[in-house]
Copies of this chain bind each other. A is one copy, B any other.
């Protein structure tokens, strides 16, 4: 069975894809280059797709900088050194991003005859992103059945979010069990020249906390 997996080049989507692979899905990876600061992510997505033995990897450009409204798609500063216990939606929230990404994945899934979409969102670690919550995922599944020819003909789409209830350390432990090479991934929102992670943005902090709690070194920071 085919599944479309949204692959960003980060640690989460790599792990979500690997979990889907254990469920015997044939994976079709979709990477959206949306004009984010961290275009380095797209290179990481290619490396991850190769490592996973993806059936096909489709890259699409959708310039969300034209829409703006996020520190990831504008020249506004990304937050640094934050305490990630809050619940506010951070400035790195990109308006409707996961809705846009899932819609594109849905279109491709329908063309491929796939009924399954995989996304690496998680709601347990601090994120504050509205479009990472289980109720959002459930609402998208209902929409997908109404939106498509396949749905009219009786198909039921499923959005798999296998990391939804996992903390970052649990995600990393699960990925290491599956033999993943996290040295291929990229998480930083605003990398230094040369592509190395900044170490101070929310995404770097979450990642560092996860590796620390899992008791392993982050291969990206080695060597």
Contacts and interface: CB of A to CB of B under 8 A. Distances in A.
Interface of A: 58, 60-64, 66-69, 89, 93-100, 103-104, 106-108, 110-111, 130-131, 133, 135-136, 139-140, 142-144, 146-149, 151-152
Given A60-B66, A135-B146, A136-B146, 9 more contacts: A61-B62, A67-B108, A89-B152, A95-B106, A96-B147, A99-B106, A100-B104, A136-B147, A139-B147
A63 B63 contact: no
Given A130-B146, A146-B139, A69 B107 contact: yes
Contact of A58 (B66, B108, B143): B66
A148 B110 contact: no
Nearest to A151: B130
A138 B168 CA distance: 35
